[in-house]
């Protein structure tokens, strides 16, 4: 019997593209290794367990094009394999160091068993590739894969340059199709950033549905009959889901969210800040900076005097929180049904994927227990978003047949564009338009030239300039500057991509351009090898 409530758990997986092939160990590449070891692989392990136990339900998982480029990069994947074994070596040293500390030894042994399982999953089950593992989970119905726009630009900032948005969308569709063998239908807008008319542009690329922050839907014109509890149809014929706030607060809230419980693992107490340089070794050091190891021995406990982490208690607690989460969704659905005119209730629960496992260590198990609890519910089910999209659903029933125009919005601080358009980052947008002008000039030169080796060379320059441009557009850099988190690195990335475009342009217009810089950048920033086809056609 069909259940009246569909809970759409949506995880958005994205990282800024970081690749430094000239370095054996590069600090910011560790962001990728952490996400792989603490979020992506544990989620695959969790879904495999659900399959083995016969637990029904589908996880919605959005993967950005920038992240896909890293997930398929042989150099980064080889480094990640080494990373797992370096962590194992450190754990073996910890077992010796802490052999007389029985309390911490229990935690060390827990980590050691977990690390062996991670390595087995990565090397034996995944064959050191994650994309085929995701494809298999799609085939068995455990994942509904979606995508995100290109390199994750905050699109409202570029609405005056629609062609730049189209370039990002062409990248989006091509990258997803090359990875998974089919075109994407669902799209996570970076930062849930929307402006009026964007849906029409998305429709050009075959997208069927997307997501917005709560007020982006609630303040749509006219106001939706069912609020955020049913998708709305936009003027361009796409369907839009709005975030349901109570489910978000139960996880996101710093004060009352589940991840802040004192029994869960403390994120900010890594042994990288407690051990001597010589003990950690060169691998967990970069330019004198300690690199997080992933080994943390304390639970939150709400004070500076942290207590030792107790995995068994945390894993027991996560079951209680999963039961509470599902019970609260059941209550929401039951309260709404009398006013739904016979329609099912759709509840969108969107989160950054990296919250589960990386920031909230117990997060993947929380999802597993949530699926198990929902399986025994008579009210809710963990459903694919496509089950609630009328144009993709066999039943095809439209809860709200009216057309609604969503408003400009984002899920960032303040709900609009302040995080990505403020005084601290205003310098970046004039640089962007200068880069666009240089690229457009080079494109005109190509179209006006006779075919030959020089034209082919200039196309290579233009393709690399396009890579630098889309990397410059990543919303991550403005976010880091706004939050003063790795802000210097973010400014360096912005300035570096701009300087690369300027230098490439200066060479490309010469009668005999020097190819040294071009070759270096083609090796370093090598994502989207076909990008020239998108830009020069």
- pLDDT over threshold 70, residue 450: no
Backbone angles phi, psi at 56, to 5 degrees: -75, 165
What integer pLDDT is reported at residue 381 of this predicted model?
98
Structural contact between residues 195 and 156, judged by C-beta atoms closer than 8 angstroms: yes
Report field, pTM of the whole predicted structure over 0.95: yes
pLDDT in tens, 413-432: 999 999 999 999 999 999 99
Instruction: Compute the average pLDDT of residues 371-390.
Output: 97
The contacts of residue 382 (CB under 8 Å, 6+ apart) are 7, 9, 56, 57, 58, 59, 370, 371, 374
pLDDT in tens, 215-263: 999 999 999 999 999 999 999 999 999 999 999 999 988 888 999 999 9
**Secondary structure (3-state) at 211:** strand
Instruction: Compute the average pLDDT of residues 62-78.
Output: 98
- pLDDT over threshold 60, residue 296: yes
* Structure token digits, residue 227: 């609020």
**Secondary structure (3-state) at 362:** coil
What integer pLDDT is reported at residue 446 of this predicted model?
81
- pLDDT over threshold 70, residue 396: no
Mark out the alpha helices in 275-342 (DSSP H runs).
277-280, 311-336
What integer pLDDT is reported at residue 451 of this predicted model?
61
pLDDT in tens, 487-517: 999 999 999 999 999 999 999 999 999 999 9
Structural contact between residues 291 and 277, judged by C-beta atoms closer than 8 angstroms: no
What integer pLDDT is reported at residue 394 of this predicted model?
62
Instruction: Compute the average pLDDT of residues 306-328.
Output: 97
Average pLDDT of every residue of the chain: 95
Instruction: Compute the average pLDDT of residues 98-124.
Output: 97
The contacts of residue 367 (CB under 8 Å, 6+ apart) are 9, 43, 46, 59, 322, 356
What integer pLDDT is reported at residue 535 of this predicted model?
64
pLDDT in tens, 327-374: 999 999 999 999 999 999 999 999 999 999 999 999 999 999 999 999
The contacts of residue 219 (CB under 8 Å, 6+ apart) are 407, 409
pLDDT bucket at 449, cuts 50 / 70 / 90: low
What integer pLDDT is reported at residue 452 of this predicted model?
63
What integer pLDDT is reported at residue 174 of this predicted model?
98
Share of residues in the chain with pLDDT > 70 (%): 97
Share of residues in the chain with pLDDT > 90 (%): 91
What string of H, E and C letters represents the secondary structure of 381-442?
Answer: EECCHHHHCCCCCCCCCCCCCCECECCCECCCCCCCCCCCCCCCCCCHHHHHHHHHHHHHHH
Structural contact between residues 254 and 260, judged by C-beta atoms closer than 8 angstroms: yes
Of 1, 60, 38, 322, nearest to 186 by C-alpha is 60
Of 333, 325, 320, 318, nearest to 378 by C-alpha is 333
- Rounded-to-integer distance, Cα 351 and Cα 10, Å: 6
What integer pLDDT is reported at residue 23 of this predicted model?
87
**Secondary structure (3-state) at 356:** strand
What integer pLDDT is reported at residue 255 of this predicted model?
84
pLDDT in tens, 145-167: 999 999 999 999 999 999 999 99
């Amino acid at each position: 019997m069909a259940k009246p409530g569909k809970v759409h758990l949506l995880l958005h997986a994205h990282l800024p593209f970081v690749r430094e092939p000239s370095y054996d160990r590069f600090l910011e590449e560790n962001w990728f290794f952490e996400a792989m070891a603490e979020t992506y692989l544990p989620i695959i392990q969790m879904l495999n367990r659900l399959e083995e136990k016969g637990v029904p339900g589908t996880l919605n998982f959005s993967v950005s094009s920038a992240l896909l480029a890293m997930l398929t990069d042989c150099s980064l994947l080889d480094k990640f394999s080494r990373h797992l074994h370096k962590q194992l070596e450190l754990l073996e040293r910890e077992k010796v160091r802490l052999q007389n500390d029985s309390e911490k030894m229990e935690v060390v042994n827990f980590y050691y068993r977990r690390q062996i399982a991670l390595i087995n999953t990565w090397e034996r089950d995944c064959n050191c590739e994650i994309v085929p593992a995701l494809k298999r989970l799609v085939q068995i119905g455990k994942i509904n894969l979606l995508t995100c726009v290109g390199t994750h630009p905050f699109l409202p900032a570029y609405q005056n340059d629609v062609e730049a948005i189209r370039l990002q969308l062409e990248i989006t569709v091509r990258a997803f199709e090359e990875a998974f063998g089919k075109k994407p239908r669902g799209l996570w807008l970076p930062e849930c950033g929307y402006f009026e008319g964007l849906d029409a542009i998305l429709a050009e690329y075959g997208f069927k549905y997307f997501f917005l922050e709560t007020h982006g839907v609630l303040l749509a014109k006219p106001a939706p009959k069912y609020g955020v509890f049913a998708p709305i149809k936009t003027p361009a014929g796409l369907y839009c889901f709005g975030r349901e706030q109570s489910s978000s607060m139960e996880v996101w809230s710093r004060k009352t969210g589940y991840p802040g419980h004192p029994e869960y693992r403390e994120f900010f107490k890594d042994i990288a800040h407690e051990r001597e340089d010589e003990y950690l070794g060169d691998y967990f050091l970069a330019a004198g900076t300690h690199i997080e190891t992933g080994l943390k021995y304390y639970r939150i406990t709400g004070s500076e005097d942290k207590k030792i982490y107790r995995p068994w208690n945390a894993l027991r607690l996560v079951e209680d929180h999963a039961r509470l989460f599902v019970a609260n969704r059941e209550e929401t659905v039951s309260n709404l049904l009398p006013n739904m005119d016979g329609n099912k209730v759709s509840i969108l629960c969107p989160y950054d994927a990296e919250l589960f496992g990386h920031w909230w260590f117990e997060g993947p198990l929380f999802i597993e227990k949530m699926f198990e609890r929902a399986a025994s519910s008579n009210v809710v089910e963990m459903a694919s978003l496509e089950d609630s999209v009328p144009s993709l659903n066999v039943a095809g029933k439209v809860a709200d047949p009216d057309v609604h125009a969503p408003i400009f919005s984002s899920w960032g601080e303040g709900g609009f564009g302040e995080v990505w358009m403020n005084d601290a980052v205003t310098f970046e947008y004039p640089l962007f338009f200068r880069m666009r002008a240089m690229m457009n000039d080079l494109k005109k030169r190509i179209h006006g030239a006779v075919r030959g080796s020089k034209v082919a060379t200039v196309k290579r320059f233009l393709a690399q300039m396009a890579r630098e441009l889309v990397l410059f557009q990543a919303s991550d850099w403005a976010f880091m500057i706004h939050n003063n988190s790795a802000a210097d690195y973010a400014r360096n990335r912005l300035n570096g991509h701009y300087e690369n475009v300027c230098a490439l342009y200066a060479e490309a217009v010469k009668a005999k351009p020097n190819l040294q810089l071009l070759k270096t950048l083609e090796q370093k920033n090598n994502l989207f090898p076909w990008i020239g086809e998108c830009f020069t056609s």
